[in-house]
Amino acid sequence: MFKKILIANRGEIAVRIVRACAEMGIKSVAVYAETDRYALHVKKADEAYSLGPESVAGYLNAHRLVNLAIAAGCDALHPGYGFLSESPELARICQRRGIRFIGPGTDVIRRMGDKIEA
C-alpha cells in the first residue's frame, strides 16, 4: 500500500482522491496554481505545494509534478482524469524516477491514444 500520494489534478476529482486517501490511511499531497491557492483540494489535503507562478499550465508539467512528488516524499502519483491520465510521458517519467503511477502502464496508455490500434 502507498504511504503518500501526490494528486496531480485539481477541483472535484482532487477532492475525491484526497477523501479516498484519508479513508485508506494514505497521506495526500495537493499541488496548485496560484489561482487555486484557496481551492478546496488544497485545504483538504494533508500537504500542498505551489506549482509556481504559472497559471493552470503548471498542472500539465510532468517533470515538475514528479519532482514535487519526490521532494514531498511521495511514493505514488495519481493523475486524476484528463490529459495527464492519458500521458504515457508522465507514466514513463514516474517509472524512471521510482514513483508509482496510479493508472495503466505506459504501453497501454500509448495504445489507447492510437485510435487505430485501440
Span 53-112, pLDDT tens digits: 877 888 899 999 999 999 999 999 999 998 888 888 999 999 999 999 998 777 777 777
Q: In the chain, how long is the greatest CA-to-CA distance?
A: 42
Span 13-39, pLDDT tens digits: 999 999 999 999 999 999 999 999 999
- Compute CA 108 distance to the chain's CA centroid, rounded to the nearest angstrom: 18
Asked if residue 102 lies in contact with residue 28, where contact means CB atoms within 8 angstroms, the answer is no
**Environment class of 7 (CB within 10 Å of its CB; exposed 0-12, middle 13-18, buried 19+):** buried
The kind and range of the H/E element at 22 are helix 11-24
Share of the chain above pLDDT 90, in %: 71
CA geometry: angle 34, 61, 40, nearest 5 deg: 40
**Which domains does the chain show, CATH number per domain?**
4-113 (3.40.50.20)
Three-state secondary structure call for residue 108: helix
Mean pLDDT along residues 36-48 = 97
Q: What is the pLDDT of residue 17?
A: 98
Q: What distance, in Å, lies between the first and last C-alpha atoms of the chain?
A: 31
